[in-house]
Structure 1
Amino acid sequence: LTNPSAMKVLSIYVHEIGHIIELRRYGFRTGAPTFIPGLGALIRMQQPVMNAREDADIGLAGPIYGLGAALVALGLWLVTTAPIFAAIAGVGAWINLFNLLPFGSLDGGRGFRALSRHQKLVATACVAVAWYIARDGMLVLLLIGCVAQLLSNKPNEQGYPKAAWFYCFLIFFLTAISMVRFPDGIK
């Protein structure tokens, strides 16, 4: 696991396992993740998700597990100072932030569809604050995506506070990990 490709695959695998666990919790049958070189992975489902709340829970489970893996790697780096753990934490944070883009079948898109207008505004504000603090280009993309979804998509009338909370939680913690200054050549 000392090469960057292996770290990326490990980060994606943990992320996908989060989706599988949540899918099974809802009673869906799934297979193992299918890896697509250079792009990531996908999970084939036997039946469609029934509502926006289920879809949000399933979508956000991947980044939640991905955050957990990044935090474990960050902790191991702090204890051991082994550069490999710093790399896993940094790559994992980036992959999971990317997946929070609120478009299509990306995890952020699945989470955003469950939000009311007010909740979308709160999530957009969270991304704006994270960008203001970190000045990270990925957050600019997230902010553009949030604003586009806010302006173009009909909000979910009922909303889903849990999804809004988790979206903001993930944005802040993944951004915090991405701000860690790892040893030269790691990030």
Structure 2
Amino acid sequence: MEPTTRTEFSYVQDGRFAGRREAPKRKHRDRYWLHLLLFLLTLAATVQAGGTWAGRVLVYEQAGLGAFLLDGLRFAVALLLFLTVHEFGHYVAARRHGVDTSLPYYIPAPFIGIGTFGAVIRIREPIPSTRKLFDIGAAGPLAGFVVALGVLFYALATLPPPAYVFDLGGHEVLKDYVRQHGTFPEEMLPADPGTEGLRLVVGQTPLFWLLARLFPEVPPMYELYHYPVLFAGWLGLFFTALNLLPVGQLDGGHILYALVGPVWHRRLAHGFFMLLLVSGAIGFMDTDDVLLAAIHEWGGPVLAWLLLSAILFLYLNRVFEGDHRIIAPVLFGIMLLVAASQWVGPAMQRFGYSGWLVFSLLLVFLVRVEHPPVLQPEPLTPGRRWLGYLCILIFFLCFSLRPLYFV
């Protein structure tokens, strides 16, 4: 069913303008079976992902499928609890303001590693005022953040001892270190002899770093994914930060638009988007990335530079609507910074993350960088402004420039 919005239309009587009437609003019905089916598919995908990442193969060999499912459920329940509370925060705020919206649609994704792309609700009519826009945009990340924080505290308070790694397959170098010292190493250890496998590194965030200082024997970031509840809690921070990016119609874009208005939202959103492009472009030229190293090796550096410039031009042309007076200098500036990073070396390259180029694709073609105007602009109340500042603080506490990468 196509969404029907509540709109005003002019009408004419005796050849003259006679006022405005409100168009009838068609009632939408949630397809409960679809929401439930998507939830169950997402639950199954996240259980499989959680058990796989936990990787306690020695336990699974002895205890069988039940142990695998238990690890998977620990991960899935914690992650889906966060996603559900986040989306129902939006849902409740929208319904409270009389804005027609759907129940959450969960998005199963069994092939991307964590089992889901998240969840979304469908707002079926324009949000009429700035305050309602703010309330609906801020309710989700604030509610979800509380859950993510609770999951992290629970996971950190119930961490198993370092001997937990003895249940993992491989990891012989790490196991030897734990046997000798009884604790985790401060630096990343080399891979096991004769192995060439990739290791997933979970990016450090300010909040996770602070919380880790409060508890003993917190696993290193390159082993975090073996701990189902802890990994789910970290993903809660990650998804909160993604939603609070101050761009377009993301939650952070709604909040920023309500706080500073359309002019400054446009400036700040464009500026932050440029930062993501610079980081993505620097990361794209990093030959330590396995996929990108293959591109460099296959086509050489010339192909890599040409491909990068084409990707950046595609994004910038879309964002600035073909205005080459802006596109040309911005493209030149980004490429100059990338060249500088090649010359400076690791001190500058560590700020690069090619994943932002992929995420920027979603921003440019789905979310958009700019925010559409609100029908009824109005100033926020002092309480809402403070909640907006809190959301900005939460964003910086949860954000990682390099959230997930392989070494």
For Structure 1 versus Structure 2, the TM-score category normalised by the shorter chain is 0.5 to 0.7
Mark the CA change 1:106 to 1:173 in structure 2 (over 3 Å): closer, same or farther. Answer: closer
Tell me what 1:87 maps to. Answer: 231
Distance apart, 1:11 and its partner CA? 2.7
Ranges in structure 1 where 5+ consecutive residues have no aligned partner: 128-134, 142-147, 180-187
1:55 and 2:55 are equivalent in the alignment: no
Distance apart, 1:22 and its partner CA? 0.9
Tell me what 2:143 maps to. Answer: 65
Can you list the C-alpha shifts for 1:15-72, whole angstroms capped at 9, x where unaligned?
A: 1011111112212343321123454322123433111110111011110011111111
Contact 1:67-1:92 at 8 Å conserved across structures: yes
Tell me what 1:12 maps to. Answer: 83
Mark the CA change 1:90 to 1:23 in structure 2 (over 3 Å): closer, same or farther. Answer: same
Contact 1:28-1:47 at 8 Å conserved across structures: yes
Contact 1:16-1:42 at 8 Å conserved across structures: yes
Partner letter of residue 92 of structure 1? G
Distance apart, 1:175 and its partner CA? 4.3
Mark the CA change 1:23 to 1:88 in structure 2 (over 3 Å): closer, same or farther. Answer: same
Partner letter of residue 257 of structure 2? R
Following superposition, which runs of at least 4 residues in structure 1 exceed 6 angstroms of deviation? Answer: none
Tell me what 1:170 maps to. Answer: 391
Distance apart, 1:80 and its partner CA? 1.6
Tell me what 2:258 maps to. Answer: 114
Distance apart, 1:103 and its partner CA? 2.2
1:35 and 2:256 are equivalent in the alignment: no
Number of corresponding residues: 163
Question: TM-score, normalised on structure 2?
Answer: 0.33
Which structure has greater helix proportion? 1
Percent identical: 30
Tell me what 1:185 maps to. Answer: none
Contact 1:67-1:170 at 8 Å conserved across structures: no
Which structure has greater strand proportion? 2
Tell me what 2:156 maps to. Answer: 78
Mark the CA change 1:167 to 1:81 in structure 2 (over 3 Å): closer, same or farther. Answer: farther
Mark the CA change 1:25 to 1:102 in structure 2 (over 3 Å): closer, same or farther. Answer: same
* CA distance in structure 2 between the aligned counterparts of 1:115 and 1:48, rounded to whole angstroms: 19
* CA distance in structure 1 between the aligned counterparts of 2:249 and 2:76, rounded to whole angstroms: 24
Contact 1:11-1:91 at 8 Å conserved across structures: no
Larger radius of gyration: 2
Tell me what 1:26 maps to. Answer: 97
Deviates more, 1:86-95 or 1:7-16: 7-16
Contact 2:152-2:230 at 8 Å conserved across structures: yes
Tell me what 2:8 maps to. Answer: none
* CA distance in structure 1 between the aligned counterparts of 2:247 and 2:131, rounded to whole angstroms: 16
* CA distance in structure 2 between the aligned counterparts of 1:97 and 1:50, rounded to whole angstroms: 26
Higher relative contact order (CA 8 A, sep 6+): 1
* CA distance in structure 1 between the aligned counterparts of 2:259 and 2:91, rounded to whole angstroms: 23
Contact 1:67-1:174 at 8 Å conserved across structures: no
Deviates more, 1:93-102 or 1:21-30: 21-30
Mark the CA change 1:100 to 1:163 in structure 2 (over 3 Å): closer, same or farther. Answer: farther
Tell me what 1:132 maps to. Answer: none
Ranges in structure 2 where 5+ consecutive residues have no aligned partner: 1-46, 48-70, 110-116, 161-226, 273-350, 360-368, 401-407
Distance apart, 1:10 and its partner CA? 3.8
Partner letter of residue 43 of structure 1? I
Contact 1:97-1:171 at 8 Å conserved across structures: no
Tell me what 2:240 maps to. Answer: 96
Mark the CA change 1:112 to 1:163 in structure 2 (over 3 Å): closer, same or farther. Answer: farther
Mark the CA change 1:50 to 1:21 in structure 2 (over 3 Å): closer, same or farther. Answer: same
